[in-house]
């Protein structure tokens, strides 16, 4: 599996987001929750010895990351519980940074012997470097942004099944033209231990829930497969805030609405994007180019543009890993840095990049809490958390009414960007024509293309209705994120329709 992942990642800039709309209207208040005891019982002395071995050859920084995950996935298809999947995964990785070079090695077995071996392998990059003295490990304190009321460990599997049945029934009941429903339930508890040569020692446990409903509609040979997702870092109380029926009905509504879709027009036109997961457009088009790894390599589209005007005055964009319980939120990133709110672009002016430890060193910038990794099999890289366009002053109804002709995008399937050129593409999942300021005919999945610089310069209206949706972001490794935006209007995007 790692080999295939590597080959797939290739060098073709494997950045793609595929995630679907969902409206998370309510956020819980931020409380400090007490975490249940972890299962990663390796003591600090051993970790200290591993770090010391990692730096024996030299190097500027060394880190040990231990991880333990328990995951459940239950799939319901065609009203049958098709499969139940239970996974246990554990392992540890050792990283050494020497100058601009990173060495990384991991092991499935969390033993001192295996970690010491990994440390020796990782230290290959530091053969000729000067050495630092590791600081003795000390437990660090971090604010908590994740509260759990109903721990996943205490939930009977029958409760999980019940949520799925309720979603399935609600989607089927919505309309007889819903022919098939797929419900994909996922939860996971991820324990982390992070220790590094700066003396940092942290551990926590992160619960995660992801609930996906697909609905297939069919009528007269026309078909549409819709998708809705709900995902939070929280306990099973997620379903008290958003009942499974709500997710299912949103999926069913889209599947039925799009049965009437006609050919989309082709060419450059104005686009109004509904609030919520549409924020994935700026996640891709602007967020990825603002991740500091490509900036440090001096190839990123925003290289050298700090403090410059890069977007229209009404455009402010934020990455905030502290929004309580959201899918991109953690208490600290996978390098141990405290999560925070990072304003990336404010009123059109570029304010900052998203860094991890390495890129912050290379650029001589502060750490922003964006060093994330998919698992112990990967070293951390700069990634987004909860990324959104800040709310503006316009009434969403006015934005639509003042758009004479164009496309109204209610939800996007996903898309990708080339972080060097800033060229992006998106596929519409649910979209409509705008004629004389009104939403009219639904149109078939058209691609939207453009460049990041153009799109953020051409946003001329920003609504007051900020909302979010959960997704999965891929950049050689996957990360849980959310993306958000209020209703916005973008002037002049190229729409890939099939008629003139």
Partner 1 sequence: MNYTELSADLVKKCLANGADAAEVYLAVDRELSIQVQDGELETIQEASSQGVGFRVFVKGRMGFSHCNDLSAGSLESTLKQAISFARLTTPDEHNVLAADPATSQVEGLYDPAIADVAMEKKIDMAMELEELAMQDSRVTRSSGSGYGEGETEIYLANSNGLQKHYRSSACFLGVSVVAEKGEQKNTGGEYCSRRFFSDLKSPGEIAAEASRKAWELLDPQMVKTQRAAVIFHSDVGRSLLGGVISALNGERVLQGASFLKDSLEKSFASSLLTIIDDGTYPKGMASRPFDGEGTPTARRVLVERGMLRSFLYNCSVAHRAGTESTGNASRRGFTSLPGIGVYNLFVEPGTYSPEEMIAATPRGLLLKGVTGYGIDPVSGNFSGGATGFWIENGKIAFPVKGLTIAGTAYDILNAIDMSGNDVDLMQSFACPSLRVREMQIGGK
Q: How far is the CB of 102 from partner 1 (least distance, A)?
A: 4
Residue position matching structure tokens 């205490």: 154
Residue 458 to residue 54: CA distance in whole angstroms:
50
Residue 79 φ then ψ, to 5°: 65, 20
Residue 305 engages partner 1 in binding (rule: CB under 8 A): no
Exposed e or buried b per residue across 198-215, where buried means at least 16 C-beta atoms within 10 angstroms of its C-beta: bebbbbbbbbbbbbbbbb
Q: Which two tokens stand for residue 454?
A: 């153009």
Nearest residue (CB) to partner 1, 378 versus 468: 378
Give backbone dihedrals phi and psi of 425, rounded to 5 degrees, phi first.
Answer: -145, 145
For residues 180 and 349, which CB has a smaller minimum distance to partner 1 in the complex? Answer: 180
By beta-carbon proximity to partner 1, the closer residue of 322 and 458 is: 458
Among 106, 174, 277, 302, interactor with partner 1 by CB under 8 A: 106
The most distant pair of C-alpha atoms in the chain lies apart, rounded to whole Å, by 72
497 binds partner 1 (CB under 8 A): yes
Burial class (CB in 10 A: 0-12, 13-18, 19+), 471: buried
For residue 102, state whether it binds partner 1 (rule: CB under 8 A).
yes
Burial of 99 (0-12, 13-18, 19+ CB in 10 A): middle
Looking only at residues 222 through 241 of this chain, which bind partner 1 when binding is defined by CB under 8 A?
A: 222-225
* CA-CA-CA-CA dihedral for 440, 443, 449, 454, to nearest 10: 0
Verify binding: residue 366, partner 1, rule CB under 8 A: no
State which of positions 427-456 bind partner 1 (CB under 8 A): 427, 444-447, 449-451
> How many residues line the site for partner 1 (CB under 8 A)?
85
Of 167-175, 205-213, 259-267, 456-464, the segment contacting partner 1 by CB under 8 A is: 259-267
Query: How is residue 245 written in tokens?
Result: 């029926």
Site membership for partner 1, residue 220 (CB under 8 A): no
Residue 331: CB atoms within 10 Å: 24
77 scored as a contact of partner 1 (CB under 8 A)? yes
As measured in angstroms, the least distance from the Cβ of 379 to partner 1 is 7
Tokens at residue 408, please?
Answer: 């109204």
Question: Which of 31, 32, 153, 498 is in the footprint of partner 1 by CB under 8 A?
Answer: 498
Is 109 among the residues that bind partner 1 (CB under 8 A)?
Answer: yes
Q: Which of 89, 150, 340, 347 binds partner 1 (CB under 8 A)?
A: 89
Q: Is 113 in the site for partner 1 (CB under 8 A)?
A: no
Question: What SS3 class is residue 435?
Answer: strand
Assess 210 for contact with partner 1 (CB under 8 A).
Answer: no
Structure token pair of residue 485: 């935006």
Is residue 157 part of the contact set for partner 1 (CB under 8 A)?
Answer: yes
Among 135, 299, 397, 401, binds partner 1 (CB under 8 A): 299
207 or 380: whose CB is closer to partner 1? Answer: 380
Site pattern 398..427 for partner 1 (x: CB under 8 A): ---------------x-xx-x-xx-x-x-x
CB distance 483 to 229 below 8 Å:
no
Site string for partner 1, 119-148 (x = CB under 8 A): --x--xx-----------------------
**Is the separation of the CB atoms in 334 and 155 below 8 Å?**
no
Tokens of 484: 């958000």
Would you count residue 87 as binding partner 1 (CB under 8 A)? Answer: yes
Which of these segments, 85-93, 233-241, 313-321, 395-403, binds partner 1 (CB under 8 A)?
Answer: 85-93
Report which DSSP code applies to 399.
H
In whole angstroms, give the CA distance from residue 323 to residue 327.
9
User: Is there a contact between 107 and 167 (Cβ–Cβ < 8 Å)?
Assistant: no
Chain positions 172 to 191 lying near partner 1, rule: CB under 8 A, are 179-180
Q: Interface with partner 1 by CB under 8 A: which range of 52-60, 217-225, 234-242, 364-372?
A: 217-225
Task: Identify which of residues 49 and 72 has a Cβ nearer to partner 1 in the complex.
Answer: 72
List 101, 340, 351, 402, residue binding partner 1 (CB under 8 A): 101
Q: What are phi and psi of 285, to 5 degrees?
A: -65, -35
């Amino acid at each position: 599996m790692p080999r295939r992942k590597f080959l797939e990642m290739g060098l073709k800039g494997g950045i793609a987001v595929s995630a679907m709309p969902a409206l998370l209207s309510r956020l819980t208040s931020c409380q400090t929750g007490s975490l249940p005891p972890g299962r990663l019982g390796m003591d600090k002395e051993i970790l200290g010895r591993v770090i010391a071995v990692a730096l024996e050859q030299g190097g500027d920084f060394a880190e040990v990351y231990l991880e333990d995950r328990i995951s459940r996935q239950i799939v319901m298809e065609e009203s049958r519980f098709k499969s139940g999947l239970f996974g246990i995964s554990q392992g540890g990785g050792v990283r050494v940074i020497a100058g601009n070079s990173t060495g990384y090695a991991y092991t499935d077995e969390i033993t001192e012997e295996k970690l010491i071996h990994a440390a020796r392998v990782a230290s290959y990059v530091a053969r000729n470097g000067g050495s630092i003295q590791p600081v003795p490990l000390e437990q660090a304190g971090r604010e908590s942004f994740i509260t759990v009321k109903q721990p996943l460990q205490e939930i009977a599997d029958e409760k999980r099944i019940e949520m799925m049945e309720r979603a399935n029934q609600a989607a089927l009941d919505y309309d007889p033209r819903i022919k098939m429903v797929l419900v994909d339930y996922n939860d996971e508890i991820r324990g982390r231990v992070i220790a590094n040569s700066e003396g940092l020692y942290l551990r926590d446990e992160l619960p995660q829930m992801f609930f996906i409903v697909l609905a297939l509609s069919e009528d007269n040979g026309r078909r549409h497969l819709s998708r809705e997702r709900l995902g939070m870092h929280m306990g099973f109380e997620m379903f008290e805030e958003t009942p499974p029926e709500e997710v299912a009905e949103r999926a069913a509504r889209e599947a039925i609405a799009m049965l009437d879709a006609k050919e989309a027009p082709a060419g450059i036109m104005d686009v109004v994007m509904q609030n919520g997961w549409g924020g994935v457009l700026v996640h891709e088009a602007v967020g990825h180019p603002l991740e500091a790894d490509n900036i440090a390599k001096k190839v990123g589209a925003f290289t050298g543009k700090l403090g410059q005007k890069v977007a229209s005055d009404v455009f402010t964009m934020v990455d905030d890993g502290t929004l309580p319980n959201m899918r991109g939120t953690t208490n600290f990133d996978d390098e141990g840095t405290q999560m925070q709110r990072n304003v990336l672009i404010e009123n059109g002016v570029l304010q900052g990049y998203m860094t991890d430890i390495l890129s912050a060193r290379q650029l001589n910038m502060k750490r922003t809490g964006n060093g994330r990794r998919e698992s112990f099999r990967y070293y951390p890289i700069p990634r987004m958390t909860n990324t959104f366009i800040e709310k503006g002053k316009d009434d969403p109804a006015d934005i639509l009414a003042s758009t004479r002709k164009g496309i109204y995008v209610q939800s996007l399937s996903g898309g990708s960007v080339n972080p060097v050129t800033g060229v992006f593409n998106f596929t519409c999942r649910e979209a409509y024509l705008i004629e004389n300021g009104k939403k009219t005919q639904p149109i078939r999945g058209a691609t939207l293309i453009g460049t990041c610089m153009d799109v953020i310069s051409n946003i001329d209206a920003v609504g007051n209705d900020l909302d979010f949706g959960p997704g999965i972001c891929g950049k050689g490794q996957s990360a849980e994120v959310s993306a958000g935006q209020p209703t916005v209007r973008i002037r002049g995007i190229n729409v890939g329709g099939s008629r003139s």
